[in-house]
Amino acid sequence: MRITFVLPPVNMSGGTRVVTVYANALIRMGHTVTLVSPPPRPISVSSKLRRWIKGSGWVNEDHRRRSHLDGSGLDHIVLERWRAVDESDVPDADVIVATWWETAEWISSFSPEKGAQVYFIQHHEVFPHLPIARVRATYRLGLHKIVIASWLRDVMLSEYGDACVDLVPNSVDKTQFFADVRTKQRVPTAGFLYSSVAFKGVDVTLAALAKVRASLPDLRIIAFGSERITSSLPLLSDTEFVSSPAQNEIRDLYGACDVWVTASRSEGFNLPAMEAMACRTPVVSTKTGWPEEVIRTGYNGVLVDVDDVDALAKGIEWVVTRQSDEWSKLSLNAYRTVEHSSWDASAALFEAALRNAVTRSARSTVAVK
Protein backbone atom coordinates (compact mmCIF):
# COMPACT_ATOMS: atom_id res chain seq x y z
CA MET A 1 0.00 0.00 0.00
CA ARG A 2 0.94 3.65 -0.45
CA ILE A 3 0.42 5.24 2.96
CA THR A 4 0.53 8.90 3.95
CA PHE A 5 0.64 10.15 7.54
CA VAL A 6 -0.39 13.77 8.09
CA LEU A 7 1.00 15.13 11.35
CA PRO A 8 0.94 18.37 13.33
CA PRO A 9 4.39 19.89 13.95
CA VAL A 10 6.50 16.92 14.99
CA ASN A 11 8.36 16.89 18.31
CA MET A 12 9.76 14.65 21.02
CA SER A 13 6.33 13.57 22.26
CA GLY A 14 5.17 9.99 22.57
CA GLY A 15 2.64 10.59 19.80
CA THR A 16 5.34 11.42 17.26
CA ARG A 17 7.40 8.47 18.46
CA VAL A 18 4.55 6.00 17.93
CA VAL A 19 3.94 7.26 14.37
CA THR A 20 7.66 6.92 13.67
CA VAL A 21 7.62 3.33 14.92
CA TYR A 22 4.68 2.40 12.69
CA ALA A 23 6.08 4.20 9.64
CA ASN A 24 9.32 2.23 9.91
CA ALA A 25 7.47 -1.03 10.51
CA LEU A 26 5.18 -0.52 7.51
CA ILE A 27 8.19 0.12 5.29
CA ARG A 28 9.75 -3.14 6.49
CA MET A 29 6.49 -4.84 5.52
CA GLY A 30 6.94 -3.57 1.96
CA HIS A 31 4.68 -0.52 1.97
CA THR A 32 5.54 2.97 0.72
CA VAL A 33 5.22 5.57 3.48
CA THR A 34 5.26 9.37 3.31
CA LEU A 35 4.90 11.74 6.25
CA VAL A 36 3.74 15.34 5.85
CA SER A 37 3.70 18.05 8.53
CA PRO A 38 3.99 21.81 8.95
CA PRO A 39 6.85 23.30 10.96
CA PRO A 40 6.07 24.65 14.44
CA ARG A 41 3.82 27.69 14.69
CA PRO A 42 5.85 30.89 14.93
CA ILE A 43 6.04 32.49 18.38
CA SER A 44 6.08 36.27 18.60
CA VAL A 45 8.85 38.08 20.44
CA SER A 46 6.30 39.38 22.96
CA SER A 47 5.14 35.82 23.69
CA LYS A 48 8.73 34.71 24.12
CA LEU A 49 9.29 37.55 26.56
CA ARG A 50 6.18 36.62 28.57
CA ARG A 51 7.38 33.03 28.83
CA TRP A 52 10.82 34.19 29.91
CA ILE A 53 9.36 36.48 32.59
CA LYS A 54 7.27 33.58 33.91
CA GLY A 55 10.43 31.53 34.36
CA SER A 56 10.10 29.20 31.38
CA GLY A 57 13.32 30.46 29.82
CA TRP A 58 13.90 31.84 26.35
CA VAL A 59 12.31 29.80 23.56
CA ASN A 60 14.92 27.76 21.73
CA GLU A 61 13.78 27.42 18.11
CA ASP A 62 16.20 24.57 17.36
CA HIS A 63 14.84 22.69 20.37
CA ARG A 64 11.26 23.22 19.13
CA ARG A 65 12.15 21.55 15.84
CA ARG A 66 13.70 18.42 17.38
CA SER A 67 11.63 15.28 16.92
CA HIS A 68 11.68 11.50 16.90
CA LEU A 69 11.85 11.72 13.12
CA ASP A 70 15.34 13.21 13.24
CA GLY A 71 17.76 10.80 11.61
CA SER A 72 15.00 8.29 10.88
CA GLY A 73 15.57 8.34 7.12
CA LEU A 74 11.82 8.43 6.55
CA ASP A 75 10.29 10.36 3.66
CA HIS A 76 9.17 13.39 5.63
CA ILE A 77 7.83 16.46 3.84
CA VAL A 78 7.90 19.61 5.96
CA LEU A 79 5.86 22.54 4.65
CA GLU A 80 7.59 25.85 4.00
CA ARG A 81 5.70 27.53 6.88
CA TRP A 82 3.03 26.73 9.43
CA ARG A 83 -0.31 26.28 7.71
CA ALA A 84 -2.90 23.60 7.13
CA VAL A 85 -1.76 20.70 4.97
CA ASP A 86 -3.79 20.77 1.78
CA GLU A 87 -4.43 18.23 -0.94
CA SER A 88 -1.61 19.47 -3.16
CA ASP A 89 0.92 18.77 -0.38
CA VAL A 90 0.30 15.03 -0.24
CA PRO A 91 0.86 12.30 -2.82
CA ASP A 92 -1.86 10.06 -4.19
CA ALA A 93 -2.10 7.04 -1.95
CA ASP A 94 -4.17 4.05 -0.90
CA VAL A 95 -4.66 5.34 2.61
CA ILE A 96 -4.10 8.65 4.40
CA VAL A 97 -3.82 8.86 8.18
CA ALA A 98 -4.66 11.87 10.35
CA THR A 99 -2.78 11.83 13.65
CA TRP A 100 -4.27 14.82 15.53
CA TRP A 101 -7.63 16.59 15.58
CA GLU A 102 -6.52 19.42 13.27
CA THR A 103 -5.08 16.97 10.76
CA ALA A 104 -8.43 15.13 10.75
CA GLU A 105 -10.09 18.40 9.75
CA TRP A 106 -7.51 18.89 7.01
CA ILE A 107 -7.77 15.50 5.32
CA SER A 108 -11.56 15.12 5.63
CA SER A 109 -12.12 17.15 2.45
CA PHE A 110 -9.42 15.44 0.38
CA SER A 111 -10.37 13.58 -2.78
CA PRO A 112 -10.46 9.76 -2.93
CA GLU A 113 -7.19 9.77 -4.88
CA LYS A 114 -5.38 10.72 -1.66
CA GLY A 115 -6.48 7.49 -0.04
CA ALA A 116 -8.98 5.97 2.33
CA GLN A 117 -9.22 8.33 5.29
CA VAL A 118 -8.09 7.11 8.72
CA TYR A 119 -8.06 8.88 12.09
CA PHE A 120 -5.31 7.55 14.36
CA ILE A 121 -6.52 8.56 17.83
CA GLN A 122 -3.95 8.60 20.63
CA HIS A 123 -6.05 10.65 23.08
CA HIS A 124 -9.50 12.14 23.50
CA GLU A 125 -8.33 15.71 22.93
CA VAL A 126 -11.18 17.55 24.67
CA PHE A 127 -9.05 19.94 26.73
CA PRO A 128 -9.87 23.50 27.86
CA HIS A 129 -6.95 24.98 25.90
CA LEU A 130 -8.36 23.56 22.64
CA PRO A 131 -11.55 24.47 20.71
CA ILE A 132 -13.59 21.65 22.22
CA ALA A 133 -16.54 21.85 19.81
CA ARG A 134 -14.21 21.55 16.81
CA VAL A 135 -12.29 18.72 18.43
CA ARG A 136 -15.47 16.78 19.17
CA ALA A 137 -16.65 17.34 15.60
CA THR A 138 -13.57 15.55 14.26
CA TYR A 139 -14.62 12.34 16.02
CA ARG A 140 -17.87 12.47 14.03
CA LEU A 141 -16.16 12.81 10.66
CA GLY A 142 -16.36 9.97 8.18
CA LEU A 143 -12.87 8.68 8.92
CA HIS A 144 -12.09 5.10 9.93
CA LYS A 145 -10.78 5.21 13.49
CA ILE A 146 -7.79 3.45 15.01
CA VAL A 147 -7.37 3.86 18.78
CA ILE A 148 -4.53 2.88 21.09
CA ALA A 149 -6.47 1.90 24.23
CA SER A 150 -9.70 0.19 25.20
CA TRP A 151 -11.01 3.28 26.98
CA LEU A 152 -10.71 5.27 23.74
CA ARG A 153 -12.66 2.62 21.85
CA ASP A 154 -15.35 2.83 24.53
CA VAL A 155 -15.48 6.63 24.21
CA MET A 156 -15.80 6.46 20.43
CA LEU A 157 -18.85 4.23 20.88
CA SER A 158 -20.50 5.88 23.89
CA GLU A 159 -19.97 9.52 22.91
CA TYR A 160 -19.84 9.38 19.12
CA GLY A 161 -21.77 6.25 18.22
CA ASP A 162 -18.98 4.60 16.25
CA ALA A 163 -18.74 0.85 16.82
CA CYS A 164 -16.42 0.16 13.85
CA VAL A 165 -13.18 1.14 15.55
CA ASP A 166 -9.90 -0.79 15.39
CA LEU A 167 -7.95 -1.15 18.64
CA VAL A 168 -4.16 -1.22 18.18
CA PRO A 169 -2.45 -0.98 21.58
CA ASN A 170 0.98 0.56 21.94
CA SER A 171 3.90 -1.64 22.84
CA VAL A 172 7.45 -1.37 24.11
CA ASP A 173 10.73 -1.89 22.31
CA LYS A 174 12.33 -4.83 24.14
CA THR A 175 15.70 -4.09 22.53
CA GLN A 176 15.66 -0.65 24.16
CA PHE A 177 13.77 -1.15 27.41
CA PHE A 178 14.89 -4.11 29.51
CA ALA A 179 16.69 -4.86 32.76
CA ASP A 180 18.26 -7.79 34.50
CA VAL A 181 16.56 -9.23 37.56
CA ARG A 182 17.44 -6.90 40.42
CA THR A 183 16.73 -6.25 44.07
CA LYS A 184 15.47 -3.19 45.87
CA GLN A 185 18.15 -0.56 46.35
CA ARG A 186 19.63 0.44 49.69
CA VAL A 187 18.48 4.04 49.13
CA PRO A 188 14.79 4.12 48.11
CA THR A 189 14.45 5.77 44.70
CA ALA A 190 11.43 7.19 42.87
CA GLY A 191 11.33 8.47 39.33
CA PHE A 192 8.95 10.42 37.11
CA LEU A 193 8.71 12.21 33.77
CA TYR A 194 8.76 16.00 34.06
CA SER A 195 6.18 17.94 32.05
CA SER A 196 4.53 21.31 32.59
CA VAL A 197 1.41 20.20 30.71
CA ALA A 198 -1.38 20.39 33.29
CA PHE A 199 -3.05 17.06 32.51
CA LYS A 200 0.24 15.24 33.16
CA GLY A 201 -0.25 15.97 36.87
CA VAL A 202 3.38 16.61 37.75
CA ASP A 203 2.19 19.05 40.42
CA VAL A 204 0.46 16.10 42.10
CA THR A 205 3.56 13.93 41.74
CA LEU A 206 5.72 16.61 43.37
CA ALA A 207 3.26 17.11 46.24
CA ALA A 208 3.13 13.35 46.86
CA LEU A 209 6.91 13.00 46.76
CA ALA A 210 7.22 15.86 49.24
CA LYS A 211 4.95 13.94 51.63
CA VAL A 212 7.03 10.79 51.22
CA ARG A 213 10.22 12.79 51.84
CA ALA A 214 8.72 13.97 55.15
CA SER A 215 8.70 10.38 56.43
CA LEU A 216 11.59 9.05 54.33
CA PRO A 217 14.12 11.90 54.23
CA ASP A 218 16.67 9.83 52.30
CA LEU A 219 14.29 9.28 49.37
CA ARG A 220 16.22 9.72 46.14
CA ILE A 221 14.27 11.32 43.29
CA ILE A 222 15.12 11.01 39.60
CA ALA A 223 13.33 12.84 36.78
CA PHE A 224 13.86 13.38 33.10
CA GLY A 225 12.10 15.31 30.38
CA SER A 226 12.49 17.42 27.27
CA GLU A 227 11.25 20.66 28.89
CA ARG A 228 13.10 23.30 30.85
CA ILE A 229 12.21 23.31 34.57
CA THR A 230 9.87 26.23 35.17
CA SER A 231 9.67 28.49 38.22
CA SER A 232 5.95 27.69 38.48
CA LEU A 233 6.67 23.94 38.71
CA PRO A 234 10.02 23.60 40.49
CA LEU A 235 11.57 20.29 41.39
CA LEU A 236 12.09 19.19 44.99
CA SER A 237 15.54 19.77 46.40
CA ASP A 238 18.26 17.31 45.36
CA THR A 239 16.17 15.91 42.52
CA GLU A 240 18.46 14.42 39.87
CA PHE A 241 17.12 15.81 36.59
CA VAL A 242 18.31 14.63 33.18
CA SER A 243 17.35 16.92 30.32
CA SER A 244 16.44 15.29 27.01
CA PRO A 245 18.34 12.06 27.60
CA ALA A 246 19.29 9.97 24.59
CA GLN A 247 16.82 7.18 23.99
CA ASN A 248 19.38 4.55 24.99
CA GLU A 249 19.94 6.33 28.34
CA ILE A 250 16.30 6.26 29.39
CA ARG A 251 16.45 2.53 30.18
CA ASP A 252 19.11 3.17 32.82
CA LEU A 253 16.96 5.90 34.39
CA TYR A 254 13.98 3.56 34.71
CA GLY A 255 16.26 0.83 36.03
CA ALA A 256 17.67 3.14 38.69
CA CYS A 257 14.23 3.49 40.30
CA ASP A 258 12.44 1.34 42.86
CA VAL A 259 9.15 2.91 41.81
CA TRP A 260 7.96 4.89 38.79
CA VAL A 261 5.36 7.56 39.51
CA THR A 262 2.76 8.96 37.12
CA ALA A 263 -0.09 11.18 38.32
CA SER A 264 -1.72 12.11 35.03
CA ARG A 265 -5.22 13.56 35.11
CA SER A 266 -5.77 12.20 31.60
CA GLU A 267 -3.73 9.89 29.38
CA GLY A 268 -4.24 8.42 25.95
CA PHE A 269 -1.91 5.54 26.80
CA ASN A 270 1.15 6.36 28.98
CA LEU A 271 4.17 4.77 27.31
CA PRO A 272 6.62 5.66 30.10
CA ALA A 273 4.66 3.48 32.53
CA MET A 274 4.93 0.54 30.14
CA GLU A 275 8.63 1.20 29.53
CA ALA A 276 9.31 1.38 33.27
CA MET A 277 7.62 -1.98 33.77
CA ALA A 278 9.71 -3.47 30.96
CA CYS A 279 12.70 -2.35 33.04
CA ARG A 280 11.28 -4.24 36.04
CA THR A 281 10.13 -1.14 37.92
CA PRO A 282 6.75 -1.20 39.73
CA VAL A 283 4.48 1.73 38.87
CA VAL A 284 2.31 3.90 41.10
CA SER A 285 -0.25 5.60 38.88
CA THR A 286 -3.51 7.45 38.79
CA LYS A 287 -6.49 5.74 37.14
CA THR A 288 -5.93 6.95 33.59
CA GLY A 289 -4.93 5.44 30.25
CA TRP A 290 -3.15 2.11 30.01
CA PRO A 291 -2.17 1.92 33.70
CA GLU A 292 -5.83 1.82 34.72
CA GLU A 293 -6.26 -1.29 32.55
CA VAL A 294 -3.25 -3.26 33.79
CA ILE A 295 -2.05 -2.14 37.22
CA ARG A 296 -3.29 -4.24 40.10
CA THR A 297 -2.58 -2.72 43.48
CA GLY A 298 -0.18 -4.91 45.43
CA TYR A 299 0.66 -7.02 42.37
CA ASN A 300 2.70 -4.84 39.99
CA GLY A 301 2.28 -1.42 41.58
CA VAL A 302 -0.45 0.75 43.05
CA LEU A 303 -3.42 2.45 41.38
CA VAL A 304 -4.99 5.57 42.93
CA ASP A 305 -7.65 8.14 42.10
CA VAL A 306 -6.80 11.20 40.03
CA ASP A 307 -5.62 14.20 42.08
CA ASP A 308 -5.40 12.15 45.30
CA VAL A 309 -2.06 13.35 46.66
CA ASP A 310 -2.33 11.39 49.91
CA ALA A 311 -3.11 8.10 48.18
CA LEU A 312 -0.29 8.62 45.68
CA ALA A 313 2.16 9.32 48.51
CA LYS A 314 1.00 6.25 50.43
CA GLY A 315 1.39 4.13 47.28
CA ILE A 316 4.92 5.37 46.67
CA GLU A 317 5.90 4.81 50.29
CA TRP A 318 4.31 1.36 50.31
CA VAL A 319 6.34 0.22 47.30
CA VAL A 320 9.70 1.55 48.45
CA THR A 321 9.32 0.19 51.99
CA ARG A 322 8.57 -3.39 50.98
CA GLN A 323 10.95 -6.06 52.18
CA SER A 324 13.38 -7.15 49.47
CA ASP A 325 11.50 -10.33 48.62
CA GLU A 326 8.17 -8.50 48.43
CA TRP A 327 9.65 -5.79 46.21
CA SER A 328 11.22 -8.43 43.99
CA LYS A 329 7.78 -9.98 43.43
CA LEU A 330 6.38 -6.56 42.48
CA SER A 331 9.30 -6.07 40.10
CA LEU A 332 8.82 -9.46 38.47
CA ASN A 333 5.08 -8.94 38.10
CA ALA A 334 5.66 -5.51 36.53
CA TYR A 335 7.93 -7.14 33.98
CA ARG A 336 5.44 -9.94 33.31
CA THR A 337 2.71 -7.35 32.68
CA VAL A 338 4.47 -6.23 29.49
CA GLU A 339 6.51 -9.34 28.73
CA HIS A 340 4.43 -10.40 25.74
CA SER A 341 3.83 -6.98 24.21
CA SER A 342 5.53 -6.42 20.88
CA TRP A 343 5.76 -3.55 18.41
CA ASP A 344 5.85 -6.13 15.63
CA ALA A 345 2.50 -7.50 16.78
CA SER A 346 1.08 -3.99 17.12
CA ALA A 347 2.38 -3.05 13.68
CA ALA A 348 0.66 -6.10 12.19
CA LEU A 349 -2.59 -4.96 13.81
CA PHE A 350 -2.03 -1.44 12.48
CA GLU A 351 -1.48 -2.77 8.96
CA ALA A 352 -4.69 -4.83 9.22
CA ALA A 353 -6.57 -1.75 10.41
CA LEU A 354 -5.36 0.24 7.40
CA ARG A 355 -6.50 -2.56 5.08
CA ASN A 356 -9.84 -2.52 6.88
CA ALA A 357 -10.10 1.21 6.19
CA VAL A 358 -9.37 0.68 2.49
CA THR A 359 -12.02 -2.04 2.29
CA ARG A 360 -14.62 0.05 4.12
CA SER A 361 -13.86 3.05 1.90
CA ALA A 362 -14.29 0.96 -1.24
CA ARG A 363 -17.61 -0.35 0.06
CA SER A 364 -18.66 3.10 1.31
CA THR A 365 -19.36 1.69 4.77
CA VAL A 366 -17.48 4.35 6.74
CA ALA A 367 -19.75 6.55 8.83
CA VAL A 368 -21.46 9.39 6.96
CA LYS A 369 -19.98 12.81 7.68
| 180-238 tens-digit pLDDT | 999 999 999 999 999 999 999 999 999 999 999 999 999 999 999 988 899 899 999 99
Distance of CA 119 to the CA centre of its chain: 16
Which residues, 6 or more positions from 329, have their beta carbon under 8 angstroms from its beta carbon?
none
Return d(Cα 83, Cα 31) in angstroms, integer.
28
Ordered DSSP codes for 99-153: -SHHHHHHHTT--GGG-EEEEEESS----TTS-HHHHHHHTTSS-EEEESSHHHH
Please report the pLDDT score of residue 12 as a whole number.
82
Output the pLDDT for position 203. 98
Which pLDDT does position 368 carry in this prediction? 39
pTM for this predicted structure: 0.88
In order of their start, the domains of the chain are 2-171+343-362 (3.40.50.2000), 189-338 (3.40.50.2000)
**pLDDT one-digit tens code per residue, 78-105:** 999 999 999 999 999 999 999 999 999 9
**Residue 34: its H or E element:** strand 32-37
Distances (CA, A) of 319 to 51, 111, 116, 308: 38, 54, 48, 17
User: Angle at which helices 247-255 and 271-278 pack, to 10 degrees?
Assistant: 70
